[in-house]
Amino acid sequence: MSDHDKPFLDDPEMLGEDDMAEDQDDQADESAALEAAQAEVAALNDKVLRLAADLENTRRRAEREKTDASRYAIAGFARDLIGVADNFERAFAAAENGGADAVASLIDGLKMTEKELLSVLERHGVKKVAAEREKFDPNLHQAVAQVPHAEIPSGHVVDVAQQGFTIGDRVLRAAMVTVSSGPGGAGVAGGGETPPSGDPGERLDTKV
């Protein structure tokens, strides 16, 4: 068969109805697949935009909560201290109107106020450092002097010059104390060595 006798399969006029229908079906399938892919891309793009918006909202909310937490972190503590201030006011008012008993009224009022203040501090995790007659602890105590004492053993606290406080496992302020050097022992002025002092704010050594 010569080239002139071969059918031109690429010529639409030479294609049969079945072939043309098959081509149309292929084109329709390709068009549907393209539309489906475009719809999927649009859906994914919408999802990405929504996720980005959610992340931005979350970031802004976290920043706002952080700001509020920083600003109002001590709100409960401050609210409790207002009650202490009220007690001071009542104590002074009672002293002013107490006549001959003014001093006694003031002292009683101040004692009650101190008790409430310590209670408020303890509710918020702030506690007094045990010191008097306790064994000297450089993590909790700061020695200001050594004195001989007939009853208190050497290395134990005789009295407290300034109360110390802790919050959790951290020292807010070490207690300033006088330490016994034992019966007839030499104080600081006599050449005795002052026990090492702890730095306020350092972590407590739980192994001590």
Verify that 102 and 46 share a domain, yes or no: no
Stretch 181-205: mean pLDDT:
52
Verify that 116 and 134 share a domain, yes or no: no
Verify that 137 and 191 share a domain, yes or no: yes
Verify that 131 and 86 share a domain, yes or no: no
What is the DSSP annotation of 95-162?
HHT-GGGHHHHHHHHHHHHHHHHHHHHHHTTEEEPP-TTSBP-TTTEEEEEEE--SSSPTTBEEEEEE
Verify that 64 and 80 share a domain, yes or no: no
For the chain, what is the mean pLDDT? 79
Q: Among candidates 197, 143, 196, 201, which has minimal Cα distance to 170?
A: 201
Structure tokens at 66: 């952080």
**Burial class of residue 129 (count of CB atoms within 10 Å of its CB; 0-12, 13-18, 19+):** buried
Tell me if 2 is assigned to some domain: no
Verify that 195 and 134 share a domain, yes or no: yes
What's the rounded Cα separation, in Å, for the pair 137 and 11? 104
Tell me if 1 is assigned to some domain: no
Q: Highest mean pLDDT: which of 66-70, 92-96, 172-176, 194-198?
A: 172-176
Verify that 147 and 83 share a domain, yes or no: no
Tell me if 117 is assigned to some domain: yes
Verify that 100 and 155 share a domain, yes or no: no
Q: Does the global pTM surpass 0.75? A: no
Tell me if 3 is assigned to some domain: no
pLDDT by residue (tens digit) across 168-186? 889 999 999 999 998 875 5
Tell me if 165 is assigned to some domain: yes
Our CA angle for 17, 18, 21, nearest 5°, is 85
Containing structural domain, residue 119: 75-124
Of residues 24 and 81, the one with the higher pLDDT is 81
Tell me if 7 is assigned to some domain: no
Verify that 68 and 81 share a domain, yes or no: no
What's the rounded Cα separation, in Å, for the pair 63 and 53? 15
Residue at which a domain ends, from 92, 124, 156: 124
CATH number reported for the structural domain that contains residue 134 in this entry: 2.30.22.10
Backbone angles phi, psi at 111, to 5 degrees: -65, -40
Verify that 20 and 61 share a domain, yes or no: yes
Verify that 132 and 174 share a domain, yes or no: yes
Verify that 120 and 132 share a domain, yes or no: no
Tell me if 104 is assigned to some domain: yes
What proportion of the chain, given as a percentage, has pLDDT over 90?
33
In the chain, what is the straight-line distance between the N-terminal and C-terminal CA atoms, in Å? 109
pLDDT by residue (tens digit) across 98-157? 666 778 878 888 888 889 999 999 988 999 998 889 999 999 999 999 999 999 999 999
Q: Among candidates 122, 124, 93, which has minimal Cα distance to 109?
A: 93
What's the rounded Cα separation, in Å, for the pair 73 and 71? 6
Tell me if 90 is assigned to some domain: yes
Tally of structural domains, the chain: 3
